[in-house]
Amino acid sequence: MEEYKAKEIQVLEDIEAVRMRPAMYIGDTDKRGLHHLVFEVVDNSIDEAMVGFCNRIDVIIHKDESITVKDNGRGIPIDEHPIEKRPAVEVVMTTLHAGGKFNHKAYKVSGGLHGVGVSVVNALADWLEVEITREHKVYHQRYEIGKPVTSLKIINELSELDDGTTVSFHPDPQVFQQIRFSFDILSERIRELAFLNPGILLTILDERTEKKHEFTYKGGIVEFINFLNSDKTVLHPPIYFHQEKEGIDVEVALQYTDTYTENIFAYANSINTKEGGTHLAGFKSGITKAITSYAKEHNLTKEIEIVGDDTREGLTAVVAVKIADPQFEGQTKTKLGNPEAKGVVESLSTTYFSAYYEQNPTDAEKAIKKILSASKSRIAAQKARDLTRKKELFERSPLPGKLADCSEDNPDIAELYIVEGDSAGGSAKQGRDRKFQAILPIKGKILNVEKATEEKILSSEEIKAIMKAIGIGEENIRYKKIIIMTDADIDGSHIRTLLLTLFYRRAKELVESGYIYVAQPPLYKIKHKKKIIYAHLEADMNEKIKGLDPQPEIQLFKGLGEMNPDELFFTTMDPQTRLLKQITLEDAVEADKTFTILMGEKVEPRRQFIEENAKYVENLDV
């Protein structure tokens, strides 16, 4: 060890600091962090929109995976900074904690507040170019690895006023694990920004596929609620209020449906606070107070205690606040920490919804009827849980009896295969690598949790076995690779969809963390002389038999049980040869709508979905 003296203390420049610890600024260097770069640039344009200087934002994904974000706002200042003696735009682009959002003179409210967003994007891009139009002139500057390689120059002059900023950049492949952008992830964020900023046009174009979306909504978050619930049975029209108190602008819309899941979106200065925060806590407390007070005053509870979770079953809500000095937890801004926001949102929510229910007793009674049903279901479910715990304690059997566990207890390494049928389960148990592969056979089609109460779900033996085996609801899960393995036929597809519905509705964190996979067993086995070839699709099979003897023997696998243990392991379970599809959540709103359409009560949306998507089917078992 060398001596620890003053010379060992390093002082990193802004760009070096960001490149050494990028996750500190963007969350990670995988898919999440990659897309966060785009959000940082778009949020700057949204800040212009929130103060009334921008009504159009365009996002383009180019074929080389570079991104362009263009707005018609005021344009980043280009005059010389009085202290730095450089153009203001260069200061903004290259210096951490340099921005125009600290003193509220240029921006009353904004999502950008640390002055590090676009400079971080610049530091993590192998190149970035900015074009600014101000006062009939177009200015341009290029940066590489966060540093200017050209001076700010005038490249064009315009006859008409067309102010705005265009930022184009390419993420540095030396920083990120992969640099392929997801149209769906970006589209989801752009769509919700359009709902949150009524009347503003936001577009996204993917030049790789020529796919394009345009979003503009005059109805704001009420239209957002209608969009979210378009395929659900609603109990009343959306309820909405917009009010300012103590300098905090609060906007809330909600609607109850006949579903069993809670669907709440919370925003602060148009930033999606996915982890919630004080504004969300205030809303939850306020709606609970309003409902419980109304129910008690009108003798509707019938000695049943209503708790907060009951008031949110089947609830779709959007909570959006604008606050001058938001306190986010970290640069990725996923949680709001302002303590004053809780009191303001709670007070306004309690007051408004209490008054609304008094004036609209029919809507109130529909909501409370739903909530009382949730309360009864919760109480019954709790009794079922208590009974199960007592039984497990008595029998000393914490894991399902049909689970063939693995010897590895590290969840980062251990895998769980959920296998359709006892026959395939038996083959999987015999063929698996017992060190790290666990097998849980299930019988046929599990309960559709989209249409089931908590009580009914917890009384399902198959679902209890799955949840217990994984550790859902416990302190730690047992496997970080959960693999659904079903037959490659229509029944197998249905079972797979039921399992995905279970995970999405009851253990969404597993999907969000990327722990859910689908095994891809081969459809065809081709025997040619002494050689065996496997193919997953008909087109794949046709390609593989080209040039072979006209009499190859081809076997179509109808089920996993047709394979012997060694064959099942080689084709579908061996990490060296298997093909797995990871289930990812790129557009949460669209995912919610799709599960509602496919697994919900309404038939007509499901028929329409099938008709629209039938053309994409590659293999259909009839």
Query: So which residues are the catalytic ones?
Result: 420, 487, 489, 491
328 strand-pairing partners:
336
CA distance 564 to 447: 29
Cβ contact 56:72 at 8 Å: yes
Q: 468: which 2 tokens?
A: 């217990």
Q: 290: which 2 tokens?
A: 């309003």
Amino acid at 280: L
CA distance 258 to 234: 6
**Best CA proximity match to 153, nearest among 167, 144, 140, 143:** 140
Cβ contact 73:48 at 8 Å: yes
**Best CA proximity match to 54, nearest among 205, 194, 250:** 194
CA distance 426 to 314: 40
- Asked whether the CA dihedral 357, 358, 360, 361 is positive or negative, the reply is positive
Which residue in this structure is represented by tokens 């203001």?
A: 88
Which helix (DSSP H) or strand (DSSP E) does residue 46 occupy?
helix 31-50
- Rg over alpha carbons for the chain, rounded to the nearest Å, is 28
CA 488 and chain centroid, separation: 28
* Angle of CA points 186, 583, 225, to nearest 5°: 50
Task: Give the burial class of 406: count Cβ atoms within 10 A of its Cβ; 0-12 exposed, 13-18 middle, 19 or more buried.
Answer: buried
CA 40 and chain centroid, separation: 17
Which residue in this structure is represented by tokens 């602008």?
A: 249
**Best CA proximity match to 473, nearest among 488, 453, 492, 458:** 458
Q: 240: which 2 tokens?
A: 């909405």
C-alpha pair distances (Å), 283 with each of 250, 318, 333: 10, 10, 19
Give the ranges where 446-537 is alpha helix by DSSP (H): 454-458, 461-470, 490-506, 508-512
Question: Where does residue 231 fall: left (phi above 0), alpha (psi -120 to 50 degrees), or beta otherwise?
Answer: alpha
CA distance 504 to 509: 8
Q: What is the DSSP string of 605-616?
A: HHHHHHHHHGGG
CA distance 347 to 310: 20
What DSSP state is assigned to residue 447? P
Task: Give the burial class of 194: count Cβ atoms within 10 A of its Cβ; 0-12 exposed, 13-18 middle, 19 or more buried.
Answer: buried
CA distance 353 to 374: 20
Amino acid at 509: E
**3-class secondary structure per residue, 113-149:** CCCCHHHHHHHCEEEEEEEEEECCEEEEEEEECCEEC
> Cβ atoms within 10 A of the Cβ of 275, count?
14
Q: 102: which 2 tokens?
A: 């600290």
